[in-house]
Chain A
Amino acid sequence: MKNNGLTGLRLCRDCDLLVKIPSFENSPGWKQQAVCPRCGYCLEQHQPSSVLISLALVVTGLLLFLPANMLPVLSMEIMGNVRQSTVMVGALALHDEGLIVVAWLVIATAIVIPLLRLLILFYVLLAVITASMHRTAARMFRWYTHLGEWGMMEIYVLSVLISIIKLADMANVNIGYGLYCFVALMLVELIISIYLNPHALWNQLGKNHES
């Protein structure tokens, strides 16, 4: 950050209070927080996270993406008839029944947005490592935060579990390999969201294009 008298100052996102916060640089406490004294919003968290480990997590997620979406999540059997379903098949079933927008919503929140977030993060982390392309990376990183609440993999996993129990009295329901990959992908996204320090990434993106 440029030294224009604003060093150490934060504006609270939720109540617009101007707050001076201590520097976390020599502080050992993981996840130690500076919170807004008025509304309790977390202004900054001490969270040293390595770019390379983040990148490794993102690559893990990208590798899991294809099997999670290609392999069947659930399969079910009534009197010898076996049907298998991936995330996509469920969405297409809605599409066939005329609920086109709902089908797109499922595809977007369970498949496309989680993938998009991983790809954006991949690009941003590469930009930070190679110290280039910061303008584009900054523009894309904005989308990463905007899309955050629209990626709903964990909700999808819960809905799979509920469906299994609901269908259990009707037929034989089996869990497919796709579900294991899907859960793993969900966990990777969860770990990324806990581990990643957006504040530090923004600072690095900002530093490089100023110089």
Chain B
Amino acid sequence: MNLEYSRGIDKGLILCLDCQKICQDNEQTCPRCSSKLGRRKANSLSRSWALTLAAMILYIPANVLHIMTVSKLGDGKPETIMSGIMTLINQNMLTIAGLVFVASILVPLLKLLILFWLLLNVQLRRLASDNQIKMYRLIIWIGRWSMLDIFIISLLAGLVQYGHLGTVTAGPAAYAFASVVVLTMWAAKSFDPRLLWDVSALENNKPSIKEPDYG
């Protein structure tokens, strides 16, 4: 078998994404782990687009609405994600402010932008580069860390329940923010990185010009 620049799709082979077994493309399910087989992830592009756009829309209420209310001695002040970080800076807790900023604002934003960029690249048939695959792996890896803020809120809301002395209650932005985290993780999972490379196979005329079904 000549292996130079062969894709599985050209050789009639499908990789089982669950157990990594190489299967023949006339098989419907993997003979080893019985998961469904497909040449590429099903409806990868439309799914990731839909999930990414939904997350982009929710990113706005997540940052505009207040995420928690800290009340001391009766007077509560609702905080958004950003004003919470400002409070931390004013209290001189710079390290934590930095951590929360990265996990709650930077990472979700970066994820949305990178997903958007990757999807555009596939849609516009741009050649795959090292950067694209690196970015893809980056968002897969860092995506989960945005849950940090949600966990902190649940801890504070569970602990700080002292009636008049002080309470912490969660706000509606927590809903939007949790949705952004889940939707972007899901979008990154639905995205099939092999689509990036399929473009380069088409451009290079090597070894075959069979159009993969983008679905």
Contact = CB atoms under 8 A, between A and B. Distances in A.
B193 A15 contact: yes
- Interface of A, secondary structure class, is helix
A146 B186 CA distance: 11
A9 interface: yes
Counting contact residues on chain B (CB < 8 A from A), the size range is 35 or more
Contacts of B182: 105
Given A102-B178, A141-B33, A202-B33, A11 B154 contact: no
Contact of A13 (B7, B17, B156): B17
A94 B153 contact: yes
Contacts of B149: 159
Contacts of B151: 90, 106, 110, 152, 155-156, 159-160
Interface residues of A, number: 68
B8 A18 contact: yes
A85 interface: yes
A6 to B, nearest CB: 5
A79 to B, nearest CB: 7
Interface of B: 1, 3, 5-9, 11, 13-15, 17-22, 32-35, 72, 88, 91, 93, 96, 99-100, 128, 130, 133, 136, 140, 143-145, 147-162, 165-166, 169-170, 174-175, 178, 182, 185, 189, 193-194, 196-198
Interface of A: 1, 5-6, 9-20, 38-40, 73-74, 76, 78-79, 81, 83, 85, 89-94, 97, 99, 101-103, 105-106, 109-110, 135, 138-139, 141-142, 145-146, 149-150, 152, 155-156, 158-160, 162-163, 165-167, 169-170, 199, 202, 205-206, 209
Given A146-B18, A202-B32, A202-B33, 12 more contacts: A14-B193, A16-B197, A76-B160, A83-B162, A102-B175, A106-B151, A141-B19, A152-B144, A162-B152, A167-B156, A167-B160, A170-B166
